[in-house]
Amino acid sequence: MSDPVALKLQPVSQAVARWRPTALDYVFAVLVLLGAGYAWQRFHDYMDGYEQAILGGTALATIGFAWHWKAMRWFLPVCALLALAATGLYQGDLARAGSSFWLKYLLASQSAVMWMCVLCLLATVVYWAALLRRSDTLGFVGSSLTWGAAGAALVSKLVRWYESYLIGIDVGHIPVSNLYEVFILFVLITALMYLYYEGRFQTRKLGAFVMLVVSAAVGFILWYAFSRQAHEIQPLIPALQSWWMKIHVPANFVGYGAFALAAMLGVAWLLAEPKPQSPQTRRLLFIAAVLIASVFGVFQYFAPVWFPDLQAGAGFIAKAGYSAALLCVVAACRGRLAAYLPAPALIDEVAYRAIALGFLFFTIATILGAMWAADAWGGYWSWDPKETWALIVWLNYAAWLHIRLVKGWRGELLAWWSVIGLYVTTFAFLGVNMFLSGLHSYGTL
């Protein structure tokens, strides 16, 4: 009997076939190597040996990535061409961002970010419409919008990198240095990761959930950009003037994106598992949701008076409370979307693969961070709050994987665990900088 949810891995011969390069793969590889060679020829005088190694490693990784995921053979070149078009339109003058039509409305980094935000929000709405109406056509539109959003995000990163050098050689840097820039990176990575699993498992029904967390990041980007003028490019602070940032931060955000994706799949699992709550339990959960939301609403309203030192931290606490209230609603609605979502076993499998990938990259990022610390501060580990919470995140997902792989547990426990894990990860990323001081206290709100 065939597996009804198609969870078994493809035979080894088919897996090898996916990696076997075609003529188009070789063309893509040549283009990437030519691009890397041109970058080296033009900028190697400004690069030390480590940065040249990063350039070469990135080129090889890009080739391998595209050979494994064939969609990258058109996605990356299209984004690169759009970014190159933008750099040409600037003609070496950053002021042209306000006068050139194509830069002002499409290709300048801030314009591309706005397109990314709009497309992400539209994709979320369309994915939900596709899920509830069981429409493959709308699902295709949702996927297309997500591809567009990811493309806009990547173009914005490449163009912003170029824009920083137009301000000054000493200002130029890879755009992963503040919350505004890394949240765009989070949107890019999470969207692409979801699109990969969507194609791998041939289901668009999970996009409604994954794009919710992406849209939440978009909301933060819009708030942060307009309230703090964070979209303006600033010189790097001394602590970030290192080539380590080019590899440590992206690796970290592969982990963050994977953990966020798995958390939303945990929510989807709970709504897909055909185990509805009793009417009494459901009523209690709804009452709990209202009470929790009310308490945190009052807290947020009076926090400026009661806790004037909290500032943005009060909003962070309130939003955590609101999301806890939403989880009570999710618990009350257990199984209500079973007829609309894929089988829980498939959702569980995708969540497992996301966490396994995220754990790998988060481990690499943690090792790279320790090496960066040794280079900058003379020690690999100092039990700084950020380092301590990074270890807590690592242990949390190490335990998750151990329980699943060694103990063989599945289902509700791991679904809730992945959801709660996002709270732990979010505090490690944002909360530590707001509530705890340390060597990493330069990314405050």
What average pLDDT does the chain have? Answer: 87
262 and 303 assigned to the same domain = no
Amino acid 8: pLDDT: 42
Residue 405 lies in a domain: yes
Q: How far apart are the first and last CA of the chain?
A: 55
Split at pLDDT 50, 70, 90, the class of 284 is very high
> Mean pLDDT, to the nearest integer, of 127-150?
96
Instruction: Judge if pTM exceeds 0.85.
Output: yes
Split at pLDDT 50, 70, 90, the class of 346 is very high
Split at pLDDT 50, 70, 90, the class of 312 is low
| Residue 235 DSSP one-character state | P
433 and 286 assigned to the same domain = no
Q: How far apart are the C-alpha atoms of 281 and 277, rounded to whole Å?
A: 6
User: Which structural domain range is residue 367 located in?
Assistant: 244-275+334-445
Split at pLDDT 50, 70, 90, the class of 11 is very low
Helix-strand-coil percent breakdown of the chain, rounded to 5? 75, 0, 25
Residue 426 lies in a domain: yes
Neighbours of 225 (CB within 10 A): 19
> Mean pLDDT, to the nearest integer, of 343-370?
95
Structure tokens at 96: 């042209």
Amino acid 171: pLDDT: 87
Residue 284 lies in a domain: yes
Residue 162 lies in a domain: yes
Nearest CA to 411 among 344, 339, 338? 344
Amino acid 443: pLDDT: 55
Whether the pLDDT of residue 185 is over 70: the answer is: yes
Whether the pLDDT of residue 239 is over 80: the answer is: no
Residue 8 lies in a domain: no
pLDDT tens digit string along 56-83? 999 999 999 999 999 999 999 999 999 9
Question: How many Cα atoms sit within 13 Å of 261 on the Cβ side?
Answer: 34
166 and 99 assigned to the same domain = yes
287 and 371 assigned to the same domain = no
Q: How far apart are the C-alpha atoms of 317 and 117, rounded to whole Å?
A: 25
On whether the CB atoms of residues 255 and 376 are closer than 8 A, the answer is no
305 and 399 assigned to the same domain = no
Nearest CA to 80 among 21, 12, 184, 159? 159
229 and 283 assigned to the same domain = no
97 and 222 assigned to the same domain = yes
Residue 4 lies in a domain: no
Split at pLDDT 50, 70, 90, the class of 52 is confident
Amino acid 445: pLDDT: 58
Split at pLDDT 50, 70, 90, the class of 157 is very high
* Domain count of the fold of the chain: 4
pLDDT tens digit string along 90-135? 998 899 988 899 999 999 999 999 999 999 999 999 999 999 999 9
On whether the CB atoms of residues 251 and 368 are closer than 8 A, the answer is yes
268 and 398 assigned to the same domain = yes
Of 332, 365, 400, which residue sits at a domain end?
332
Whether the pLDDT of residue 15 is over 50: the answer is: no
| Residue that the structure tokens 């590899």 belong to | 247
Return contacts of 49-58, CB within 8 angstroms, 24+ apart: 50/243, 51/243, 51/246, 54/243, 54/246, 54/247
Residue 297 lies in a domain: yes
Q: How far apart are the C-alpha atoms of 351 and 397, rounded to whole Å?
A: 12
Split at pLDDT 50, 70, 90, the class of 411 is confident
Residues contacting residue 399 through CB under 8 Å, at least 6 positions apart: none
Residues contacting residue 126 through CB under 8 Å, at least 6 positions apart: 138, 141, 142, 145
Split at pLDDT 50, 70, 90, the class of 440 is low
Q: How far apart are the C-alpha atoms of 278 and 404, rounded to whole Å?
A: 28
Q: How far apart are the C-alpha atoms of 225 and 232, rounded to whole Å?
A: 8
Share of the chain above pLDDT 90, in %: 54
Amino acid 106: pLDDT: 93
307 and 350 assigned to the same domain = no
Split at pLDDT 50, 70, 90, the class of 354 is very high
C-alpha distance from residue 313 to each of 310, 386, 441 (Å): 5, 16, 14
Whether the pLDDT of residue 9 is over 50: the answer is: no
32 and 98 assigned to the same domain = no
250 and 381 assigned to the same domain = yes
The H or E element spanning position 359 is: helix 344-377
Which of residues 299 and 196 earns the better pLDDT score? 196
On whether the CB atoms of residues 368 and 302 are closer than 8 A, the answer is no
Whether the pLDDT of residue 16 is over 50: the answer is: no
Whether the pLDDT of residue 442 is over 70: the answer is: no
355 and 418 assigned to the same domain = yes
> Mean pLDDT, to the nearest integer, of 303-328?
78
Which of residues 317 and 162 earns the better pLDDT score? 162
Across 22-26, 223-227, 330-334, 395-399, which has the greatest mean pLDDT?
A: 395-399
Amino acid 315: pLDDT: 74
Q: How far apart are the C-alpha atoms of 146 and 152, rounded to whole Å?
A: 10
Residue 14 lies in a domain: no
> Mean pLDDT, to the nearest integer, of 394-411?
92
On whether the CB atoms of residues 379 and 373 are closer than 8 A, the answer is yes
